């Protein structure tokens, strides 16, 4: 049994006390945890944004598109009124000349 004596001294109850210390300081560990947390939050945010875009729930984009369409309708209405006014001028001049010729022929 004497040859197991060194093993008993090394691993048994009579073994010397050992201090177990981490290799990384607490502040570096906290920084790594915060960085990993930020990475997870960023991936979550990007997943949420992609899901919103994919599903078509972009309310901001829909509001911008609606405003753009309202602006386009206003521009087309203005152009329509302008064209109607331009069309009314020759018609009005034709009517006035027709009225003048009718008055002249009636005399």
* pLDDT tens, residue by residue, 7-56: 667 777 777 888 888 788 889 999 999 999 999 999 999 999 999 888 87
**3-class DSSP state of 57:** coil
Backbone angles phi, psi at 4, to 5 degrees: -85, -5
Domain of 89?
A: 58-107
Average pLDDT of the segment spanning 78-97 = 81
Same domain? For 52 and 62 the reply is: no
Average pLDDT of the segment spanning 47-74 = 88
Q: Is the pTM of this model over 0.95?
A: no
Same domain? For 23 and 62 the reply is: no
Q: What pLDDT shows up at residue 79?
A: 96
Same domain? For 34 and 75 the reply is: no
57, 73, 88: which is the final residue of a domain? Answer: 57
pLDDT reading at 104 higher than 70? no
Element (H, E) at 37: helix 26-55
């Amino acid at each position: 049994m004497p040859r197991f004596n060194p093993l008993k001294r090394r691993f048994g109850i009579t073994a010397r006390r050992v201090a177990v210390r981490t290799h990384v300081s607490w502040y570096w560990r906290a920084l790594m945890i915060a960085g990993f947390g930020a990475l997870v939050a960023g991936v979550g945010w990007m997943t949420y944004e992609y899901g919103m875009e994919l599903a078509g729930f972009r309310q901001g984009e829909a509001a911008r598109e609606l405003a753009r369409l309202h602006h386009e309708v206003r521009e087309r209405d203005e152009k329509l009124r302008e064209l109607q006014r331009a069309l009314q001028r020759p018609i009005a001049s034709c009517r006035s000349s027709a009225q003048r010729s009718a008055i002249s022929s009636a005399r």
